[in-house]
Amino acid sequence: MPFLAPSFARLPPLAYLLADQTEPRKKISRHLGVSLRTLQRYQASGNAPRAVYLALWFESRWGMAALHAQALNEAQHARAWVGSLERECERLRGVIRALESAQGQAAANSAVFDAF
């Protein structure tokens, strides 16, 4: 699975990340493991450690959109893979039917095979 976190150059500014949060600043600071005063200093300076940026990014609309897009892509990929396996099973059933009809008699395991 690829890394979902953006490079530092592709992260939105700290002010945008903080403005995107709906929770109170005290709860955000607790989530980040810093004091409210530290979060206020980060906001005033417009700079924070990368871990803070990433934590806020994953909680923002940008991070959630990236996670949802990844989940959708994986679900579509899995469905396509299942579809290809179903088509392969049907092709192999056709091969078995053709071989059985060419032989003139049913296979020893035909009762088990026909149950599916």
**Spatial CA neighbour of 18 closest among 66, 60, 65, 67:** 60
Q: For the chain, 116 residues long, give each residue's pLDDT as a single digit of tens.
A: 567 777 777 888 999 999 999 999 999 999 999 999 999 999 999 999 999 999 999 999 999 998 899 999 999 999 999 999 999 999 999 998 888 787 777 677 777 766 66
Q: What pLDDT shows up at residue 116?
A: 60
Q: What is the pTM of this model?
A: 0.64
Q: Where are the domains of the chain?
A: 1-59, 61-116
How many whole angstroms separate alpha carbon 25 and alpha carbon 2? 31
